[in-house]
């Protein structure tokens, strides 16, 4: 996993929160939701916390959207995956950067594709809906 990923693009055509405004970022492949638990208890593991902090660091200069948002996630994986296990860490990590809280996500689209010629990654597009 690339320890120093860099956001590919950041679009800012209008003031924050205007419908249609987007953020797009390429992130390291997320940890599974299963990494949130330890010893059958709900305790965030070091790998889960580390991933969330990495995403927050990458989006810290963004101005969070205040209203409803749409999130599109493309997961480029190395082995077959269950997509719903990988969305939570991404959504949690984007809180405070792309949006204030992941409760603002009213539309979520996730696709998975086999990574070809590169490491597994996630490409995320967040669009303000209002």
pLDDT of residue 5: 47
Whether residue 15 has pLDDT greater than 70: no
Residue 7, pLDDT score: 47
- Taken in order of first residue, the domains within the chain and their CATH numbers are 22-128 (3.30.1330.70)
Residue 101's nearest CA partner among 65, 57, 55, 60 is: 65
Distance CA(73)–CA(50), nearest Å, equals 20
Q: Is 82 left (phi over 0), alpha (psi -120 to 50) or beta?
A: beta
**pLDDT (0 to 100) of residue 16:** 55
Question: What pTM did the predictor assign?
Answer: 0.80
pLDDT of 35 reads: 59
User: What was the pLDDT predicted at 10?
Assistant: 47
pLDDT above 80: residue 36 = no
38-66 tens-digit pLDDT: 566 667 778 888 999 999 999 988 999 99
């Amino acid at each position: 996993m690339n320890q120093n990923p860099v956001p590919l693009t950041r679009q800012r055509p209008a003031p924050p929160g205007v419908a249609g405004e987007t953020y797009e970022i390429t992130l390291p492949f997320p940890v599974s939701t299963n990494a949130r638990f330890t010893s059958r208890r709900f305790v965030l593991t070091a790998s889960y916390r580390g991933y969330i902090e990495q995403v927050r660091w990458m989006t810290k200069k963004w101005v969070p959207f205040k209203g409803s948002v749409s999130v599109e996630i493309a997961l480029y994986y190395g082995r077959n995956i269950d997509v719903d296990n990988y969305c939570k860490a991404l959504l949690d990590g984007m809180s405070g950067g792309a949006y204030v809280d992941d409760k603002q996500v009213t539309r979520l689209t996730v696709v998975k594709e086999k990574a070809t010629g590169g490491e597994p990654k996630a490409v995320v597009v967040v669009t303000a809906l209002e």
